[in-house]
Chains A and B, each alone.
Chain A
Amino acid sequence: MKITVASGKGGTGKTTLATNLAHFLANSYRTTLADLDVEEPDSRLFLTGEPVGEKEIDKMVPEWIAEKCILCGDCQKRCNFNAVIQLNTIILVFPELCHSCYACSELCSESALPMKPQKIGTIEHVKINTLDVVEGRLDIGQEQAVPLISQTKGFVNALQPPPDFTIYDAPPGTSCPVIEATKGVDLVILVTEPTPFGLHDLKLAVETMRTIESDFAVVINRDGTGNDNVAHYCEKERIPVIAKIPNQRKIAELYSRGELIYTQVPEFKQQLQKIEQYIVEFRQGGAK
């Protein structure tokens, strides 16, 4: 079963939940955690383990071969992203703007723009006892997170034997990287906080989940602070709230040191047990 932990707003506790939940589940099930917040991957600050493997991730971009080019200018016309520009007798390729659609390359009458790999990031795979952790990390200055997210997912899906649970730690927001991180999963857990910011961004995330027709449930973090509007909203919209993590300074302090929470805060562990119960029932098709 694949589960994405996501949130509209950043800093609501996505990574805290994803890392603790994965570590907790790994006590009883074969579990993999994949950090898909490739712009700012933080999972491994909380989970240090034995390195298993590392892989450079490329995207394909065209490379201009001057000797073959007849300067017809068709490539520039065909590129919808301004990634191929003709400047007098030179064709300039801007790899950061290229979406790897292959149109310029495959349609070039002279085969003067073959596609070549360009490094955009790294995937690292570590093991902590029985837990597999896979992290995608975008190189600084690279603009497009989506290709790296999709390749990190591909890497995880190829792991053998397949895990019982795969937990994806998604990037924040509701735009294309989040869609990529939630595509094809069985359940999305939206983490929010009971503040006006949390509620506003939760509504956007809910709208996104409904648009992509994904099953989802909510976890309220820092419960006890702010107000009850998030809980009321979920009730009204019939969205299951599967756990409420209490607002405790101790949790914030443990987090700040990169430590796991559930092993030290019993109230936190109780909430993970509730989530476990929900997802196990969900997997059996009982929960909706």
Chain B
Amino acid sequence: MKEVVIISGKGGTGKTSLTAAFAVLEGEDTVVADCDVDAADLHLLLAPEVIQTDDFYSGKMAVIDEEKCTNCGICEERCRFDALHFSRGQYRVDPLNCEGCGYCSLVCPENAIIMEEQNVGVWRISNTKAGNIMVDAALGIGAENSGKLVAKVKQEAKKIATEKGIDLILVDGSPGIGCPVISSLSGADFVVLVTEPTLSGLHDLKRVYELVKQFKIRAGCIINKFDINRLVAEQIREFLEEKQILYIASLPYNESFIHALTMGQTVVEYDHNELSRTVRESWNQVRQILKNDKK
């Protein structure tokens, strides 16, 4: 089984649009995992029919038993997260500040603080319009994106792929370089970096590649909107060459992506010309690399 992760460092480079297009091209031969659990958008293009939804519990939160609490204030003294305050006659927990460390509960002389498991979101299994099985998730508001929900989505995708004998998992990664991305990357066989020729695009690509390198995963790169700035596009090509990252393709600045998106379609369904062909060829290249691996 192979796992391909699509990431970008910077948002808005076309990562999800391309992941959805690859999912459509691959159809029932891939399980799709949307690991951008903070703002999962893949479902907007793949029209999934949800077949299973489950709550996800992770981390803990302090809850005060008001009957036992004597309002001594020791909890507030010890809390490093400013999560416990005396208000309206009673010590209370600020749920947005509580880190779930449990220190208050350990030091409470009355054992009045218990740590409760937190429901931080849901994860789902669906059938997409392209015939893929998709696993995605929705993180609760302000919940800690510790990477555990991302890990859960990937784990479920893997389980399904194993059961059904599907040998490819396509992962839409999350932005940034912090814990969710680290979780998205762990165990991947190949990373597709989607970037754009802007100074921020290049800057973020370099930072996220440092992370990919630490994981020793092979990487390829697609330059989206390459004609916005040919000079920076050239600098990206030089960076790829220097780091021996496979250059996959350049896509033009094209409103077709937005038109397709507005109609709930992927670009390979919407466009039947050059753009669509380049996206297909890009995916075939990645596919070929994975195939050669097996031999």
Contact = CB atoms under 8 A, between A and B. Distances in A.
Interface in B90-135: 96, 99-103, 106-107, 115
Chain B at the A interface: mostly helix, strand, loop or mixed?
loop
A278 B139 CA distance: 32
B235 to A, nearest CB: 11
Interface string A198-220: 00110010011001100000000
Contacts of A45: 199-200, 203
B112 to A, nearest CB: 17
B86 interface: no
B178 interface: yes
Interface in A93-142: 99-103, 106-107, 138, 140-142
Given A101-B80, A204-B39, A176 B145 contact: yes
B60 interface: yes
B239 interface: no
Interface in A119-172: 138, 140-145, 171-172
Contacts, number: 177
Interface in B199-237: 199-201, 203-204, 207-208, 210-211, 214, 225, 228-229, 232
A40 B39 contact: no
Interface in B241-295: 253, 255, 258, 261-262, 264
Contacts of A138: 177-178
B11 A12 contact: yes
B194 to A, nearest CB: 11
A62 interface: no
A256 interface: yes
A201 B39 contact: yes
B44 A200 contact: yes
Contact of B10 (A40, A177, A225): A40
A113 B225 CA distance: 52
A204 B38 CA distance: 9
B211 to A, nearest CB: 6
Chain A at the B interface: mostly helix, strand, loop or mixed?
loop
Given A8-B39, A15-B200, A249-B253, A174 B12 contact: no
Contacts of A103: 101-103, 106
Interface string B65-95: 0000000000000101100000000000000
Contact of B211 (A101, A141, A208): A141
Given A39-B177, A195-B261, A173 B38 contact: yes
Contacts of B107: 107
A246 interface: no
B9 A40 contact: yes
Nearest to A80: B102
B31 to A, nearest CB: 22
Given A80-B102, A197-B44, 17 more contacts: A9-B12, A40-B207, A42-B204, A80-B59, A102-B103, A107-B107, A172-B38, A173-B145, A174-B39, A175-B144, A177-B145, A177-B178, A197-B261, A211-B142, A253-B228, A253-B229, A258-B199
Top 8 nearest A-B pairs (CB, nearest first) are: A11-B12, A10-B11, A101-B101, A11-B11, A39-B176, A175-B145, A173-B38, A256-B229
Interface of A: 8-12, 15, 39-40, 42, 45-46, 78, 80-81, 99-103, 106-107, 138, 140-145, 171-179, 183, 195-197, 200-201, 204, 207-208, 211-212, 225-227, 249, 252-253, 255-258
Interface of B: 9-13, 16, 38-39, 41, 44, 59-60, 78, 80-81, 96, 99-103, 106-107, 115, 139, 141-145, 147, 175-179, 182, 196-201, 203-204, 207-208, 210-211, 214, 225, 228-229, 232, 253, 255, 258, 261-262, 264
